[in-house]
């Protein structure tokens, strides 16, 4: 069968392409921006790529067009597809029908931590010999790819609440029908498609409705937004995740011993004891840091336990977990200055990432470089919370793109003289290179390529 994928170079749709190719299909695709690393990964798999969304890309007609959620009415390929009566389907629906129907699906949902937790969970299953398939919105370093068919019964999927396609405005995750569901957290996001937190909660409840009674829902403990979702109706066993912040009555928590303590063995989260219903069940000593990653780990351990991986074994496996690209990824060190790349683009994620780095480096100077790139961030939905999220940074460089819909100087006035606003990436590169010294930690945060600023910073420091 010949599939043509519109929007193929996005992480999710690129993963769909790789899975379809692994199933033996002929796969081609179009995208407005065909560039590495996804283009390289796709071409190496024998997938033909075309630049733009020209109607000619659908001639001769493929057997089915798989439509990404970035596609809109008015695009030449979309209009031709509809006018010609071509068979089309969304990416999530294709995945559900062709891969997930016969598998035990473990889905990871939430505003933050989906990619990292999905990667942890896939690793736990792999390390236990389960040979899982997965589709993740990032690249786990242990696998080197964002999607894998797998030969086992289990499939891990990052379950995004963003809408499915221009013709299906439900959240993508309602297609996946998980037996094991992780709901890490729930905050307002995606202001371009949701007006209120209640609208997002309604989509999450659609997801809760399809988890079977013999399944499991793992959720953050005492998170009001998720509690309200479950209060709408829940027909499945649940287990709560308390993390390391003082939740002794959560089903899963992190502490020093079976006698509850909210303190982690290591302040930066690189070591902690795993407690299940107050009993010690494992000890994690790993490369990751931050209280948010402790909670992610507990969620992954709880989901893995649901399919038969004992927490002690899972805790040991996490010690070999290498992390995810673009999640506190060290891109390089020059003259004692470290440059990190992180995907954080929501105030809560920014605050958690900076707090984790602060606990790791102590009093060392942290320079935060931020690009407000997501639709929600550009619209200003999070502007009021942004200043507070940057409290652990000694210096903040904010890139202001031309389409920013809010007054950055006014919104971040609380940052004070720690803030530098720049309209050109070159200005940030020059300023950071001149302003850093050995021991400084430069944390670059964006959910996009940020004009290659990471390598440009390393080059400037070297020169």
CATH number at residue 409: 3.90.190.20
Whole-angstrom distance, CA of residue 11 vs CA of residue 364? 34
* β-strand pairing of 395-399 with 279-285: unpaired
Same-domain check for residues 224 and 370: no
Per-residue pLDDT of the chain (463 residues; tens, 9 = 90+): 999 999 998 889 999 999 999 999 999 999 998 766 778 888 888 999 999 999 999 999 999 999 999 999 999 999 999 999 999 999 999 999 999 999 999 999 998 889 999 999 999 999 999 999 999 988 888 898 889 999 999 999 999 998 999 999 999 999 999 999 999 989 877 677 788 999 999 999 999 999 999 999 999 998 999 999 999 999 999 999 986 544 678 999 987 544 445 556 777 788 999 999 989 999 999 988 888 889 999 999 999 999 999 999 999 999 999 988 777 788 899 999 999 998 776 787 888 888 888 888 889 999 999 888 776 666 666 667 787 888 889 999 988 887 777 787 787 888 888 888 888 889 899 989 888 999 999 999 887 778 888 899 999 898 8
Indicate which CATH number applies to the domain containing 85.
3.40.50.720
3-state secondary structure at position 222:
coil
How many Cβ atoms are within 10 Å of 120's Cβ, its own excluded?
31
Q: Do 109 and 215 have their domain in common?
A: yes
Cα four-point dihedral sign 54, 57, 63, 64: negative
Same domain, 289 and 163: yes
Q: In terms of domains, do 156 and 303 share one?
A: yes
pLDDT of residue 260: 44
CB atoms within 10 A of CB 385: 15
Give the Cα-Cα-Cα angle 91, 73, 174 (nearest 5 degrees): 30
Dihedral angle of Cα 147, 151, 153, 158, to the nearest 10 degrees? 0
- Name the pTM for this structure: 0.82
| Torsion on CA atoms 167, 172, 178, 181, rounded to nearest 10 | -150
CATH number reported for the structural domain that contains residue 250 in this entry: 3.40.1190.10
- Domain of 286? 102-318
Domain-embedded: residue 175: yes
In a domain, 97, yes or no: no
Q: In the structure, how many helices (H) and strands (E) does the chain have?
A: 15, 23
Number of other CB atoms surrounding residue 206 within 10 Å? 16
Q: Do residues 155 and 62 both lie within one domain?
A: no
Residue 224's Cβ-count burial label (10 Å; 0-12, 13-18, 19+) is exposed
């Amino acid at each position: 069968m010949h599939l043509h994928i519109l929007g193929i170079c996005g992480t999710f749709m690129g993963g769909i392409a790789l899975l379809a190719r692994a199933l033996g299909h002929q796969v081609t695709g179009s995208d407005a921006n065909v560039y590495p690393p996804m283009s390289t990964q796709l071409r190496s798999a024998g997938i033909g790529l075309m630049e733009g969304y020209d109607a000619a890309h659908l001639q001769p007609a493929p057997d089915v067009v798989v439509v990404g959620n970035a596609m809109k009415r008015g695009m030449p390929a979309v209009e031709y597809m509809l006018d010609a009566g071509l068979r089309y389907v969304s990416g999530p629906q294709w995945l559900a029908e062709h891969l997930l129907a016969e598998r035990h699906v473990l889905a990871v949902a939430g505003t933050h931590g989906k990619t990292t937790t999905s990667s942890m969970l896939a690793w736990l299953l792999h390390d236990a010999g389960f040979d899982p398939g997965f589709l993740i919105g990032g690249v786990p370093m242990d696998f080197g790819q964002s999607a894998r068919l797998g030969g086992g019964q289990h499939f891990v999927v990052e379950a995004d609440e963003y809408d499915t396609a221009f013709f299906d405005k439900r959240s993508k995750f309602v297609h996946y029908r998980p037996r094991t569901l992780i709901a890490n957290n729930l905050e307002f996001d995606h202001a371009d498609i949701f007006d209120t937190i209640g609208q997002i909660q309604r989509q999450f409840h659609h997801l809760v409705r399809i988890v079977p009674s013999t399944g499991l829902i793992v959720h953050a403990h005492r998170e009001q937004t998720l509690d309200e979702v479950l209060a709408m109706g829940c027909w499945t066993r649940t287990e709560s995740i308390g993390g390391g912040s003082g939740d002794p009555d959560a089903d899963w928590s992190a502490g020093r011993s079976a006698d509850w303590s909210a303190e982690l063995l290591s302040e930066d989260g690189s070591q902690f004891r795993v407690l299940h219903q107050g009993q010690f069940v494992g000890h994690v000593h790993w490369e990751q840091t931050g209280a948010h990653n402790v909670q992610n780990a507990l969620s992954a351990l709880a989901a893995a336990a649901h399919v038969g991986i004992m927490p002690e074994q899972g805790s040991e496996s996490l010690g070999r977990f290498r992390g995810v690209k673009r999640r506190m990824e060290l891109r390089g060190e020059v003259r004692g200055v470290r440059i990190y790349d992180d995907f954080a683009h929501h105030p809560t994620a920014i605050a958690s990432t900076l707090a984790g780095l602060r606990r790791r480096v102590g009093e060392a100077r942290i320079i935060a470089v931020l690009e407000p790139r997501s639709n929600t961030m550009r619209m200003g939905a999070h502007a009021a919370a942004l200043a507070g999220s940057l409290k652990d940074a000694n210096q903040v460089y904010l890139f202001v793109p031309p389409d920013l819909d809010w007054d950055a100087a006014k919104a971040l006035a609380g940052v004070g003289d720690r803030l530098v606003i720049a309209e050109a990436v070159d200005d940030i590169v020059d300023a950071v290179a001149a302003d850093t010294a050995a021991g400084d930690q430069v944390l670059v945060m964006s959910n996009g390529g940020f004009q290659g600023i990471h390598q440009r910073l390393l080059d400037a420091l070297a020169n």
